[in-house]
Structure 1
Amino acid sequence: MAFARRRPAQLLLARLSRQLRPRRGACAGTMAPDRCFALELPDSSLAHFTLGVDPHGNSEPPGGACRTPGLAAILGPPGRSYSLCLPVAPEAGCAARVRAAKLHQRLLLQLRGCRFQHCQVTRLLSYRPDGQPGSAQHCILLRDPSDHPDTRRALDELLGACGEAPHPHLSDFETDPHGQLWQRLWELRDGRWLQVGCSRVMPAREPALHPVLPDLPSSAVFPHREAARAVLEACTSFIPEARAVLDLIDQCPKKVHKGKYPVIVIEGLDATGKTTVTRSVSDSLNAVLLKSPPSCLGQWRKIFDDEPTIIRRAFYSLGNYIVASEIAKESIHSPVIVDRYWHSTATYAIATEVSGGLQHLPPAHHSIYQWPKDLLKPDLVLLLTVNPVERMKRIEGRGMEKTKEEAELEANSVFRQKVEVSYQRMENPSCHLVDASPSREEVLQTVWNLIRNNCK
């Protein structure tokens, strides 16, 4: 059922003023006062805000100046902004998080479809400022620059068709005649959308660490095998291939040990020379060359690449444990060279999930950069680097087909920089940087020097 037809803007604002201002105290109780939001802006900064009523009428949060830009200018007129949030309780299990991620992905795809092509879709994160794991919730901000009535009708139909739990929460934003921004919360009851709450939108202080960090170990950067396995276990009812992957994982011993020969991992973005270096070094050392993800998972990569982050990252994380089992067997008899390993899995997950620019990445020495304790560790990790201009020349010269992540690296320089910085912050083991811009001979000489000095 569509929303009621709108009145002219002046009547709507006057009505909004009458409705909201006398009821401020009552409205404050409709939303948890300790829930905050982080909105990613076009310049890769984050605008933080919260919901409630400040009895003193302050526009700044207590405790100091707020660096958040004017929220009314971001969320208010001209145009209209809507937020769609998927509530997941902090204590919810893995299956609930997977269901929410699937619904979030489906909504994103539909909001980027033809019915909303005139709108802008932006990442929005809801979180508790106490930093407790499980509190972060991925939301969507839909911005309609023209405030067209068809947008609201389309949202009505889209969300009304979401029959399964969790059902998305829908809000929109209004500016009253006094320039204050309010969020109105709507709920679908008996086929009709009813306003069930209203809260004043106020700036919030930026937290010391990105609010998604406490949830990364359960959603993207899995610290051990069982955490990733639980995700795929929750997918077996709707992704048949997940069971096949789990069967392969269950054939791998949970504890494996490296043999007497060295294990060397070569990391780097596409077109940095990984293929050349890995083949040359493996030939010279008479080593076994392995790749992550392993070839046994290759037939299912396209399936899992199209899944939400939590499922996709669990798939690639488990692939590392299959590679570890292969490393353990092969390193008994010969050296092993590995084309990418856990560092790739972790860096791309961090760069994707941590919204905003470089300044929002976890600081150096954060636990998220630590190697999983139950994953076989290599003796040496080399990170090949090439300046962005040279790397793009190589990609265009080779005419290689771009992967989804490669397309993102090309289109979004901030994303590429976050991947590169995350690589450089990895620890235990850390990455040894190798400038792969010089000639092939010079690069290989640098690589050989590092191998000789670190693999005794």
Structure 2
Amino acid sequence: MAFGHRPRAPLLLARLSGLRRGACARAMAPPRCFALELPGCTLAHFAVGDEAPGARPDPRVAGLLGAPGRSYSLSVPVAGGAGCAARVRAARLHQRLLHQLRRGPFQPCQLHRLLCYPAGGGAGGLQHGFLLHDPHDSPDTRRALLALLDAYPEAPRPRLAEFSGDPLHQLWQRPWELRDGQGWRRLDRERVVAVPEPALHPVVPDLPSSAVFPHLEDARAVLDACASFLPEARDVLALVDQYPRQVRKGKFPVIVIEGLDATGKTTVTQSVSDSLKAVLLKSPPSCISQWRKVFDDEPTIIRRAFYSLGNYIVASEIAKESTKSPVIVDRYWHSTATYAIATEVTGGLQHLPPAHHPIYQWPRDLLKPDLVLLLTVSPEERMQRLEGRGLERTREEAELETNSIFRQKVEVSYQRMENPGCHVVDASPSREKVLQMVLRVIQNNCSCYSGPGDTFY
């Protein structure tokens, strides 16, 4: 009997040694920081790790992570490095996870956006995820989460952890790990502590590689990573490759008109183009707009790459047409960037990148317009105009109606754009008055235009 048990001793020691090494590695690892979006679009920051210095978390965080109820964090690692393909895989998995957490056994739970970021900040290492709060602490929720993770057999697999409190009012996180042949097991607990809010929102350093692409090749690489599963990506790339990489504007002015839905943008762009005998272009251009619905259903990184490449196609059309006449453009790069920033930066207005941040600069390889006009109306006026229109809108445009914070973030991002910035025009008055104001701004900013009734030369 004793002889039969001897071989198990080294095995047991090896397992204990492995557990100790794992615990030491976790203790030596730098703390992981989290940005949790709370109701009212406020952010709370906390860290997890035995070596994480700090005080007890914000009471709002403690209310979600401690009793009563139970909370779970799910984050999506960017497996395989920080390349385009890895980012695309992680973004699609994150979107799939969101859809799953909104239905079935998770419907009674509260869902919050959660970002996991390295303590030192900077680009790379960012993980998008969710905090799922079950107010009833039902064991069915945990079982459903583990079953959900079993549906992701390949990397990147979402990372799951759960939170709990203790009699001393301390908060703890326990990660779940899949052990070969042993199923899911909870690891040792790690302390949850408060950390100061970073000077810059943790998502901002990653924006140039995930949402606000500073060069054509950055956006092109994203769709290239999608070509294996998204046929429309191949079609868009084929069109992009038909246009020259370097284009120059002609002698006639190029004027971009931006604005939210129902600010009169379509009417004004048509009226201005008629008044100036200008060519009217639109971004995304007609040659790819047939695929707009497909890309609007994809994660931000894919959706914004599509719109970015549309801008470069429009730039080639601008270069051609501006040699013969003035050009009016219905939306261009500013709208692509502002919606991306407002979508990706969680929290309220105070968390947007500060004014003069490089993210607001025009891409160096994209044809630049002579003038950008931003049409604005009051929220009340915009809602009145939207009623009864019945037009199909993108997911982001629909959110403008229901999320006032999102709308404000879009508007402030527009106003912070630089090189060129936006000339704000109040579009509340009558159509005729708005047209007169727009033409006056053009007259004052485009030296080759004398005024209404005159033509460009």
TM-score, reference length from structure 2: 0.90
CA distance in 1, matches of 2:88, 2:216: 17
Verify the 8 A CA contact 2:72 2:133 in the aligned structure 1: yes
| Percent of paired sites with the same residue | 73
Residue 387 of structure 2 aligns to a residue whose secondary structure is: helix
Task: State the Cα distance separating 1:178 from its structure 2 match.
Answer: 1.1
Verify the 8 A CA contact 1:129 1:211 in the aligned structure 2: no
CA distance in 2, matches of 1:228, 1:106: 22
Q: 2:39 aligns with which of 14, 17, 42?
A: 42
Verify the 8 A CA contact 1:186 1:197 in the aligned structure 2: no
Task: State the Cα distance separating 1:199 from its structure 2 match.
Answer: 0.7
Task: State the Cα distance separating 1:55 from its structure 2 match.
Answer: 8.9
Residue 188 of structure 2 aligns to a residue whose secondary structure is: strand
Task: State the Cα distance separating 1:44 from its structure 2 match.
Answer: 1.2
What residue is the counterpart of 2:132 in the other structure?
Answer: 142
Verify the 8 A CA contact 1:84 1:140 in the aligned structure 2: yes
In the alignment, residue 77 of structure 2 is paired with which amino acid? P
In the alignment, residue 405 of structure 2 is paired with which amino acid? V
What residue is the counterpart of 2:175 in the other structure?
Answer: 185
Task: State the Cα distance separating 1:131 from its structure 2 match.
Answer: 2.2
CA distance in 2, matches of 1:191, 1:289: 64
Deviates more, 1:426-435 or 1:292-301: 292-301
CA distance in 2, matches of 1:84, 1:44: 20
Task: State the Cα distance separating 1:400 from its structure 2 match.
Answer: 3.1
Listed as ranges, the matches of 1:332-343 within 5 Å are 332-343=323-334
| Structure 1 residues not aligned, in runs of 5+ | 1-22, 61-65
Give per-residue Cα distances to partners, 1:128-147, cap 9 Å, x unaligned: 13222112110111111111
Q: 1:301 aligns with which of 292, 297, 300?
A: 292
Task: State the Cα distance separating 1:249 from its structure 2 match.
Answer: 0.7
Report whether the alignment pairs 1:107 with 2:107: no
TM-score, reference length from structure 1: 0.90
Residue 168 of structure 2 aligns to a residue whose secondary structure is: coil
Residue 127 of structure 1 aligns to a residue whose secondary structure is: strand
Listed as ranges, the matches of 1:241-280 within 5 Å are 241-280=232-271
Verify the 8 A CA contact 1:47 1:69 in the aligned structure 2: no
Verify the 8 A CA contact 1:89 1:135 in the aligned structure 2: no
Task: State the Cα distance separating 1:403 from its structure 2 match.
Answer: 3.0
Q: 2:202 aligns with which of 202, 208, 211?
A: 211
What residue is the counterpart of 2:229 in the other structure?
Answer: 238
Verify the 8 A CA contact 1:91 1:134 in the aligned structure 2: no
Verify the 8 A CA contact 2:80 2:86 in the aligned structure 1: no
Task: State the Cα distance separating 1:28 from its structure 2 match.
Answer: 8.3
Give per-residue Cα distances to partners, 1:347-404, cap 9 Å, x unaligned: 0000000000000000000000000000000000000000000000001043434432
CA distance in 2, matches of 1:119, 1:411: 21
| Structure 2 residues not aligned, in runs of 5+ | 1-19, 448-457
Task: State the Cα distance separating 1:43 from its structure 2 match.
Answer: 1.7
CA distance in 2, matches of 1:433, 1:268: 9
Verify the 8 A CA contact 1:28 1:198 in the aligned structure 2: no
Task: State the Cα distance separating 1:90 from its structure 2 match.
Answer: 9.1
CA distance in 2, matches of 1:341, 1:188: 47
In the alignment, residue 423 of structure 1 is paired with which amino acid? Y
Residue 206 of structure 1 aligns to a residue whose secondary structure is: coil
Task: State the Cα distance separating 1:34 from its structure 2 match.
Answer: 3.3
Verify the 8 A CA contact 1:28 1:52 in the aligned structure 2: no
What residue is the counterpart of 2:6 in the other structure?
Answer: none
CA distance in 2, matches of 1:294, 1:143: 43
Residue 77 of structure 2 aligns to a residue whose secondary structure is: coil
Give per-residue Cα distances to partners, 1:233-282, cap 9 Å, x unaligned: 00011101111110111111110000000000000001101111111110
C-alpha distance 362-55 of structure 1, shift in aligned 2 (>3 A): closer
Deviates more, 1:114-123 or 1:371-380: 114-123
Residue 29 of structure 1 aligns to a residue whose secondary structure is: helix
CA distance in 1, matches of 2:93, 2:145: 15
Verify the 8 A CA contact 2:399 2:406 in the aligned structure 1: yes
Count of equivalent residues = 426
Task: State the Cα distance separating 1:115 from its structure 2 match.
Answer: 2.4
Report whether the alignment pairs 1:165 with 2:161: no
Verify the 8 A CA contact 2:27 2:51 in the aligned structure 1: no
In the alignment, residue 193 of structure 1 is paired with which amino acid? W
What residue is the counterpart of 1:3 in the other structure?
Answer: none
CA distance in 2, matches of 1:206, 1:401: 39
RMSD: 1.8
CA distance in 2, matches of 1:130, 1:224: 27
What residue is the counterpart of 1:352 in the other structure?
Answer: 343
In the alignment, residue 26 of structure 2 is paired with which amino acid? G
What residue is the counterpart of 2:83 in the other structure?
Answer: 93
C-alpha distance 55-287 of structure 1, shift in aligned 2 (>3 A): closer
CA distance in 1, matches of 2:59, 2:107: 26
Report whether the alignment pairs 1:52 with 2:43: no
CA distance in 2, matches of 1:221, 1:93: 16
C-alpha distance 404-116 of structure 1, shift in aligned 2 (>3 A): same
Listed as ranges, the matches of 1:59-98 within 5 Å are 59=55, 68-88=58-78, 91-98=81-88
